[in-house]
Amino acid sequence: MMTEYQIMDLFQKISVLNEAGHTRYLQPENPTSLTNTQAIILHYILFEAKTRDVFAKDVEAYFGIKASSVNSIVNYLENAGYVTRETLGEDKRMKRLVPTAEALAIREWLFEEIHNGIVDTFAGFTEEELQELKSLMEKMRVNLLSMSARKEPHYTRDPKKAYKAK
């Protein structure tokens, strides 16, 4: 049986592989300088902007990340020419994220690359395994959000026991 530390080690390795571009995302002919994270957020903006106005708060809420992280990524996307920020009405604080012609030009390529990366990542999984993984990952997401809200650890098990492999 694996301990929580061994499982987290595996999870971190998967995260690093994904972010480092060892996945199919944005491979092999990448016409952009986007990282996987930037590409996924641009994908979200492109997809959502088809039907509604998209704001930085939407990105924060969807991905569960801090405003400062979203701002950093959106700044990069704006400087790279993929999005603009447009003020709405009288409230100068409300700025929607609008994909540029440059972003629209790579939309289909980006959608296809992300789709293919997802398909490749989950190749060989049964429907039951995918449902179980989804359930477990949702529990992890809730725990991580709860941890960041509390600013202190919450141990339901003795953390010293987690180091011991069974």
Q: Which of 45, 42, 41, 36 is nearest to 15 (CA)?
A: 36
Structure-model confidence comparison of residues 44 and 90, the more confident one: 44
Q: Is this model's pTM higher than 0.85 or not?
A: no
| CA quadruple 126, 17, 148, 95: dihedral, nearest 10 | -100
**CATH at residue 119:** 1.10.10.10
Mean pLDDT of the chain: 83
Looking at residue 139, its amino acid is K
**Tokens 């992280």, residue located:** 69
pLDDT computed for residue 58 by the predictor: 96
As a whole number of angstroms, the distance between CA 4 and CA 126 comes to 24
| Segments forming the whole domain that contains residue 93 | 4-8+16-162
First-to-last CA distance in the chain? Answer: 6
As a whole number of angstroms, the distance between CA 92 and CA 70 comes to 18
Q: What is the pLDDT of residues 108-139, one digit of tens each?
A: 999 988 888 888 888 999 999 999 999 998 88
Structurally, how many domains does the chain consist of? Answer: 1
